[in-house]
């Protein structure tokens, strides 16, 4: 199951990352291969875990989630990381969690309805987690860029 991604794979991915609704036959035409080939490649990329499906892009503020924030978490000991992750997984407001270098032990991205909701999550859900010493909050006032990587 180890397969090197070739240039055709990368081209397919790049085109689909730009517009995932595009038809395979259309992509096939642009790249000069048949629609079946695109299908076979995408199936392989899915099975390999290179592609993890697709995601609906929803504007959070349009559904009532107006506050985006980043939380730096200090743990008492780094070894408590695994337990803390499991507990943070139970907090649906956390959309990203990273184990990072630097002064923080962990770094989370969190999306809430409003500042009151954010305070509730911080005080009632995050801070009570065992091993969490303190947190630092960065509130995003504006998301100026949001896009995917360019793979070639």
Partner DNA sequence: GTTGAAAAGTGCTGCGA
Partner DNA sequence: TCGCAGCACTTTTCAAC
Contacts with DNA, 16-35, as mask; x by CB under 7 A: ------xxxxx------xxx
CA distance 67 to 47: 36
CB proximity list for 131: less than 8 A, separation 6 or greater:
75, 76, 77, 80, 83, 84
CA distance 146 to 139: 16
Among 36, 64, 78, 92, binds DNA (CB under 7 A): 36
Site residue total, DNA (CB under 7 A): 18
Which single residue is written with the structure tokens 């005080």?
123
Q: How far is the CB of 116 from its own copies (least distance, A)?
A: 16
Q: How far is the CB of 102 from its own copies (least distance, A)?
A: 4
**17 makes contact with its own copies (CB under 8 A):** yes
Burial label for 112, CB within 10 Å (0-12, 13-18, 19+), is buried
Contacts with its own copies, 47-66, as mask; x by CB under 8 A: -xxxxxxxxxxxxx-xxxx-
Residues that bind its own copies (CB under 8 A): 5, 10, 13, 16-17, 19-21, 48-60, 62-65, 68, 70, 85, 88-89, 92-102, 104, 106-108, 111, 136-151
């Amino acid at each position: 199951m180890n397969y090197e991604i070739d240039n055709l794979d990368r081209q397919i991915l790049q085109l689909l990352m730009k517009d995932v609704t595009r038809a395979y036959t259309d992509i096939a035409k642009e790249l000069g291969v048949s629609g079946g080939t695109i299908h076979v490649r995408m199936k392989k990329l899915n099975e390999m875990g290179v592609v993890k499906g697709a995601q609906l892009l929803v504007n959070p503020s349009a559904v009532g989630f107006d506050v985006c924030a980043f939380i730096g978490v200090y743990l008492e000991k780094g070894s408590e990381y695994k337990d803390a992750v499991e507990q943070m997984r139970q907090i649906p407001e956390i959309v990203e969690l990273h184990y990072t270098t630097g002064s923080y032990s962990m770094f989370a991205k969190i999306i809430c309805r409003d500042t009151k909701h954010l305070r509730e999550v911080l005080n009632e859900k995050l801070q009570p987690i065992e091993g969490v010493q303190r947190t630092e909050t960065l509130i995003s006032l504006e998301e100026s860029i949001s896009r995917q990587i360019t793979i070639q």
